[in-house]
Structure 1
């Protein structure tokens, strides 16, 4: 099974190809405000490098947000077009969930501006707290009440250090039943302001 993995919800462009749940090709780099220029060429480059064609693709997995308006829209649009054109399943995964650590419980955070954070709390098996928005002071209290939880995501705005995670591996290992998009054309991104 060949999976195309895409994340454009933040400042980085992340593109991966997995075969039978093993990452066989990837590229990740800062592409803020240039993701639209780079996404499709990077997908094509990885497929060619791995001697694959679009006909070899079995599924597309994309982060659906929250994230920057343009970034999320780019990834979702490309993923939807690919899934529709190739008649392949599309899986939509929370951008916060792709930050979770491999083991233990993770508090996944993203800057929502105006002294607020987007927060989702996950264990490897379940969603503990669904994606929501919270004042930064509430986030700090939550973290203080759960010192054993790992802090993940770009948390420099809170003067914290986040766990290092591989976004593409998390997309590859996402719960397929929960994240299957039943209507590709109706799939909508989750923007930062939507939570």
Structure 2
């Protein structure tokens, strides 16, 4: 297996943790092309055709790939499983490195890049970016991320949380900080307007909200840093991060 990073690596990145299916081809840190489609419940039938079209559009073949990156969740059980299965199968068949990235971190990092490239972040300290994906029954897949020029940190780990209680936990974290932190939610924010308004009320500060799609390009960029740190996954041991038992496991 190729484990060294050369100056001309071709990476295939993918994520199917949400209703969007997204795939991208990167050459080093540049996106050659990205495809995103509204897959809903058809990830399993659309992912391979999307990958084939993507590679064809940039005049590449599977054998040209140097590594694979996949968002491993959390998110939709079925969706997450599709990307993980395809990624590990391709990595094993092609004998190339495989990298797993938190889908929530990918969503957060995409917003951070947008903020850097626009006026949104010019006058702000580094914000706490809180990704939220609707997990139904008042729950969200979420975490807290803080990105800086030369690094990033997962302030609170990925997990599935009751949004009402999550708001209280975020408020407690704000109270424990020695300096103020700008809170920015990203993802399925329209589904939780009431709870987010509650955080504004109890914290006394404005909370930013952005609806944003998942981008495989951001998954790929995060995977590049793992390559630098030699965090290569063994395909047979690469599994989804559901952050909780599946319904079948709970019933068992």
Q: TM-score, normalised by structure 2?
A: 0.70
Helix, strand or coil at the partner of 1:33: coil
Of residues 52, 60, 63, the one that matches 1:52 is: 60
Of residues 214, 222, 226, the one that matches 1:176 is: 226
Tell me which moved more, 160-169 or 69-78.
160-169
- Structure 1 equivalent of residue 31 of structure 2: 23
Mark the structure with the bigger radius of gyration: 2
The alpha-carbon deviation at position 163 of structure 1 amounts to 5.0
The alpha-carbon deviation at position 63 of structure 1 amounts to 0.5
Q: Deviations over 1:147-169 (max 9, x none)?
A: 61211122222026425466223
Tell me which moved more, 128-137 or 163-172.
163-172
Q: Deviations over 1:118-142 (max 9, x none)?
A: 2211122111111123221222235
Of residues 116, 140, 147, the one that matches 1:117 is: 140
**Ranges in structure 1 where 5+ consecutive residues have no aligned partner:** none
Helix, strand or coil at the partner of 1:126: strand
Pairwise CA RMSD: 2.2
Q: 2:129 matched to 1:106? A: yes
Q: How many corresponding residue pairs?
A: 195
Asked if the contact 1:107/1:120 (under 8 Å) is kept, the reply is yes
Judging by fraction of residues, say which structure has more strand.
1
Asked if the contact 2:23/2:51 (under 8 Å) is kept, the reply is yes
**Ranges in structure 2 where 5+ consecutive residues have no aligned partner:** 1-8, 117-125, 175-179, 197-208, 247-252
- Structure 1 equivalent of residue 157 of structure 2: 130
Judging by fraction of residues, say which structure has more helix.
2
- Structure 2 equivalent of residue 4 of structure 1: 12
Tell me which moved more, 4-13 or 158-167.
158-167
Helix, strand or coil at the partner of 2:233: coil
Distance 1:50 1:35, change over 3 A: same
- Structure 1 equivalent of residue 237 of structure 2: 186
Tell me which moved more, 86-95 or 139-148.
139-148
Alignment of 1:140-151 (within 5 A): 140-142=167-169, 145=174, 148-151=182-185
Q: 2:121 matched to 1:73? A: no
Asked if the contact 2:188/2:211 (under 8 Å) is kept, the reply is no
Tell me which moved more, 31-40 or 125-134.
125-134
Helix, strand or coil at the partner of 1:96: helix
Tell me which moved more, 135-144 or 46-55.
135-144
CA distance in 1, matches of 2:216, 2:14: 7
- Structure 1 equivalent of residue 190 of structure 2: 156
